[in-house]
Every structure is written in structure tokens, then in C-alpha cells.
Amino acid sequence: MGWLRKLLDFLSGKNKTKLLNPPKNIETQIQEVRKNRNEVEIDSFDNENKVILWDAHIDKILTHEDGYETNLVMAKIIRKRDEDAYFIDSNDYVLFEVDRKQEITEELLEKVAECYDLVKRPDSKELCTYLGLMGINKENQTYNIMSKLPGTEQYIRKIIEPHLEGQRRKREQSFQRQEFLDRIDERETIDNYKEKQKEINAERLKRPYLEETKIYRSRNNKSYEDFEGININNGEILRLHQVRKIGKIIEENGNSSYLYSGILNSVNSITDEITVNRAGIVEGFPICFELPDALDRIVEKNDEVQIKQVLRLLSYDKNFENAKELKYIGKLTSDDVVEHVKESNNEIIRKKVQEEKQEYRKIIDNMER
């Protein structure tokens, strides 16, 4: 009788196959996407806009003077009308701190969006808005801004905001170049391409800059920095990789001189590839140079005249000769005068440069064996 029971079950619908993943409605899908990228949306206090916050993540663990540790949380945020289009990089960033044990909940993010809406003026040009330490009010069990901790605001303005602005500028340059490439017809000749590139480079020369892009330790446990700027001879992108301070002297006149080594490149686009060899060294032109102050301080001060002179020192045509030999390319004096010389007039500097040359030559020889 078993077969008869199965037949009756089939006809009654008891054995219908169940869907393993039933289709979800659009609203459910939207809610899941928002949850996955930590997104919340609230009505603005002006009753005209929406405030949307997303991509909330812990950017850094901060240790304060009293030993108290907090998580510094960063999120993207935007205030817009429903009908307004959203453009890439039109968002701001909101930063806040929480206790290390505090979870990043939806209620917390909604409160952050609400606080941002209250404190961020519509005409403000600040890319980053720092709210302070967020915590739970014990009286009403709601999230509130508890305080702004000393040092955090300064860290955001000096480190995080310039880095985000630099990233945004790079994306803008990349988008501009991509738009330009998209407009190039396949029938355009190489000569036309070169003319267009000259136009791009000419625009760059109107706004020369030098900025720090990365601080890191290599596998030899040495500290390095990367910098990017404009080649003021031709408008190309100037890249200075694996920069390391290798010496400092006090000259007879009392002025300081800082000796640096690094790998120099000049490329048409920020999207050009960076190649690293088997020894972990970026391929390019190895150089040593002297500056009257620490390079990171020069970049931080952002004195237009001094920055241009540093770029002039780095952009010299003869710097881009012979990638297998490290060379001394000159110095920037305390009077911001560029000296393109093959050898320092200081014996200590000459000795240190010679040591760097020998070390680099040894690395190259070992790699080529």
C-alpha cells in the first residue's frame, strides 16, 4: 500500500518541493544592503533633507594622555533631498570616538547622523566633522556626545583630513584622465594623444604640490615614507618612494642639513603601475639629496616657494638617468636655493652617500645573480 499512500500525498499537495531561498521583496533587499554597509537614514531637522550615513568603521585605536583607549570611528555622510542626484565624492566624513567595548549599533549611528545634522553648517567647507566621544546617558539610556577628547581634533586635522583630501584629489585626477581617454576616438593618432597630454600637464603646472602619501616599515624593519608631487619641468606626476632620512648634520654657520635617500619616478598618470623588484625596491631612479629641514615638516608647512624649490631639485632632468646606480642629485640650501651638484661639499655627507651607493650596488648585484 506504500505506493498508494505516496500517490495520495502527491495529489493532495503534501509532497510539493519547498523553495530553499524564497524570493525577497525589494524593500527587504534594500534593508539588507543597508545593514551590510552600516547605513542609516534619518530626516533632517529642516524637514527638507535626508541625512544618510554609511560605511562606518573603526579607523584607529587612540590612546589618550591618561591611558584611556577609544575607537576612532569614521563614516561617510551626506545631507540631500530625495530627488537630488548623488555624485561620487560629494559626501563628507563624520568621526567620533567610543569606548573600546562599545558596539557600533544602528541606534548609535542614527544618533551620530542626528548630531552631525545639528552641528554641521550647510555652508561649511570642512571635509571632516569631529563630534567627540559618544556614550550612553545613564539617566535616559540614550546615546549622546559626552565630550571632545584633547588631541583627537588636532590628529584629524593634521593627519586624517589631508590624507582624505589627497585621496579625493587623486580620484578626481583619475576620473578626469579616464574621461579624456573615453573621448579619444580610435582613429586619433599618437600625435593627437601627446597634444592632449600636454594640455593636462600644463594644467597641473598651474597648481604644483608635494604631499606625503604613505608611512610604513619595510621587511628590513626600516621606516619609509612615500611622496607625490608635480614635475615642474613637464607637468608629469612626480613619485618619490621609499624615502628615508639617512643623516643630519649641523653646518658651521649653525644651519641644519638633512640627508635623504629614495626612489624617484616621473609618470604621466597617477594610475601608472608601481613595479617592485625581487629585492623589495620600487623600480626607478635611486637618489640622495639634502634639505634644510625635515621633508615631512616642509610638506606640512606647505610654503609655496619652498615646495616649488624642492620640486625643482627633484625634477632636474639628469636625475632620471641610470636606474642601476644611486646618485647624489644636490641640495636645497637654507636660503631655498637649489644646487644641482654631483657631490656634497661636506665630508660627512659624502661618506654617507658613498655608503648608500655601495649598499644599493650590493643589492642590485645580488638580485641579478
pLDDT tens-digit series, residues 305-329: 999 999 999 999 999 998 889 999 9
pTM: 0.52
Distance CA 52, CA 44 (A): 10
**For residues 237 and 254, is the Cβ–Cβ distance under 8 A?**
no
Report whether 148 contacts 174 (CB < 8 A): no
Phi/psi at 302 (nearest 5 deg)?
Answer: 55, 40
Question: For residue 181, is it within any domain?
Answer: no
Alpha helices, H only, the chain: 2-12, 26-36, 106-119, 152-155, 161-183, 190-205, 295-301, 304-315, 347-368
What average pLDDT does range 20-31 have in this prediction?
46
> Is 43 found in the same domain as 115?
yes
Which of 99, 131, 159 represents a domain boundary (last residue)? 159
The DSSP code sequence of 104-150 is --HHHHHHHHHHHHHHS-TT---SEEEEEEEEEETTTTEEEEEEPPT
- Cα 84 to Cα 45, 87, 368: the distances in Å are 18, 9, 58
Residue closest to 286 by CA, chosen among 265, 269, 315 = 265
Do 42 and 116 share a domain, yes or no? yes
Assigned C-alpha cell, 57: 568603521
Instruction: Mark 19-51 as b/e (b = at least 16 C-beta within 10 Å).
Output: eeeeeeeeeeeeeeeeeeebbbebebeeeebbb
Domain that holds residue 327: 208-368
- Tell me, yes or no, whether 11 lies in a domain: no
What are the angstrom distances between the C-alpha of 258 and each of 246, 333, 349, 368? 8, 10, 9, 32
Number of domains within the chain: 2
Are 122 and 214 in the same domain?
no
Q: Tell whether 277 and 339 lie within a shared domain.
A: yes
Record the cell numbers describing residue 215, joined without a space.
Answer: 608611512
Report yes or no on 52 lying in a domain: yes
Residues 251 and 311 in one domain: yes
The predicted model gives 148-164 an average pLDDT of: 89
Query: Does pLDDT of 18 surpass 60?
Result: no
Q: Is residue 87 part of a domain?
A: yes
* Whole-number pLDDT of residue 100: 92
Q: What are the tens digits of pLDDT across the range 30-66? A: 455 455 567 899 888 888 888 999 989 999 999 988 8
Whether residue 149 is found in the same domain as residue 228:
no
Q: Is residue 289 part of a domain?
A: yes
Tell whether 179 is covered by a domain: no
In this structure, the answer to whether residues 149 and 236 fall within a common structural domain is: no
Are residue 242 and residue 362 in the same domain, yes or no? yes
Residues 235 and 351 grouped into a single domain = yes
Q: Identify the residue whose cell numbers are 583630513.
A: 161
350 pLDDT more than 90 = yes
Where residue 21 falls among pLDDT bands split at 50, 70, 90?
very low
Is residue 1, in this structure, part of any structural domain at all?
Answer: no
The answer as to whether 83 is a domain residue is: yes
Whether residues 92 and 216 fall in one domain: no
The grid cell for 62 is 587612540
**Residues found in the chain:** 369
Same domain? 253 vs 352? yes
Is 234 found in the same domain as 137?
no
